Chain A
Amino acid sequence: MAELSVPAEVSEKLSGLPVASAVALHLKADQYFDAIQGMIDRFATKKDLEVIYVTSTIPSQSILNAMEALEISVEHIWFVDCITQIMMSQAKRHPHSIVVESPTMLENIMLKVEFLLRKNPDRSALVVLDSINSLAIHNNTKILSEFLHILVNNLRARGAYTVIISMQEYETEEIRNMLVLVSDEAVELGD
């Protein structure tokens, strides 16, 4: 049997999960953009989901540029960008991007996600947290665990899918334990 591409594998694994699942997606760095394509272009499009993409890894504009190159429509994608502001960059802000001043302002991340969910109350949502590793650079484990616990339970109660990206190269024991605690499923991609 032919091996699935990364986008197809991500989409297939997410599609097999019940609504409102919280998933820890363990990736290798070289699978990053393919995994995003799988989540957004395939899974979210197929399920007709509104995507709220929380990025603390790279600026939303870089992801938007990659999406443009991959010809992915951003009509139903909204960004909560926690990194552009602390980079003090003068980059033009995309209308689908909301800035949080710093990845340490975890409550404000929750508030922006809530705001975006309220903007589209009639559509189901996929919330992507990219990534637990970059958030762990700026926050200690205790506050990060508390944040995930509240956020994931809130999203679950609202019927939204949550995907928490974890880069395998930067995973620690603490991060793995945290993800086990809050997620319903752990998805690891093949080589």
Chain B
Amino acid sequence: MPTKEHDAGERERCVTGIDAIDHILNGGIPRGNTVLVSGSVGTGKTSICIEFLIRGALEGENSLYLSVTEPTDKLLKNVIPFDFFDERLSKQGKLQFVDLPKIYEELGIDKEDMDFKEARLLASRIASIVEEQKIRRLVLDSVTSVCYRIKDQERIRDFLLRLGTVLSAKGCTSLLVSEIRSTEEGYSRWGVEEALADGVIVTGNLERRGDLLRTLQIVKMRGTSHSRAKYVLDLTTSGVLLVPLLKGGSVAGGG
């Protein structure tokens, strides 16, 4: 019988718990999808990802945050104090934060430039953590930083393909944070990331008559129909909130 999460003939959904995103995606991210969350600085990527993990952990799904760019203790000090956050989630192991540099160290990856073997070793290590810990939601913040160390497009493609395939096979829904410049075309630094991802969520800043609005747009999501409209975003203690971007004929091209 179809369930709330899983209608007949449709893929099972990972209900993000962020109401507006679940609404846009007609029920959530198809389970096992690898989704690129792409945007320039200060557009809300990390907050969206952390809410995704907390909401999952609250529903009993083991959730893992892999931090590359900043130590997790520093990150946690600066994160929005969500009303729904429960400290017991970390103690129970439902919500885990791991610094990726520690994994590099453990694997003996000490060179600036990762070769094929090391990139594959890293993908395998992440996969084994996901399997051992029965992780259902994963965030890699950021995939851009990992790709910086892999450098070569072929190696990046190989790493992302392996990672995406293995996570999907384990039913783990993952968000890969992609850092782009506000002036950049496309949704990732190397172009490979967006091509391999099952979904692309883009956050941005929209300047309208001197006002700066945070925006979110889902441009791609395999396995579900969805709105491709642009929304305005607010990061609150109640979580990420979205409303439609008003067009009103006031901005050429509607922003």
Contacts and interface: CB of A to CB of B under 8 A. Distances in A.
A147 B238 CA distance: 23
Contact of B246 (A112, A115, A119, A146): A146
A87 to B, nearest CB: 16
Nearest to A107: B232
B121 to A, nearest CB: 44
Majority-rule SS of A interface residues: helix
Contacts of B247: 143, 146
Interface residues of A, number: 23
A108 interface: yes
Contacts of B211: 101-102, 104-105
Main secondary structure of the interface of B (DSSP, over half): strand
B244 interface: yes
Contacts of A114: 241, 243
B183 interface: no
A105 B244 CA distance: 12
A89 interface: no
A107 B251 CA distance: 14
B249 A107 contact: no
Contact of A143 (B242, B243, B250): B250
Nearest to A118: B238
13 contacts: A102-B211, A104-B209, A105-B213, A110-B243, A111-B232, A111-B241, A111-B242, A114-B241, A118-B238, A119-B238, A144-B248, A145-B248, A146-B246
The 7 A-B residue pairs whose C-beta atoms are closest, nearest first, are A143-B248, A107-B232, A111-B234, A142-B249, A142-B248, A110-B243, A118-B238
Given A108-B232, A111-B243, A146-B246, 10 more contacts: A104-B208, A105-B213, A107-B244, A107-B245, A108-B234, A110-B243, A115-B234, A115-B236, A139-B248, A143-B248
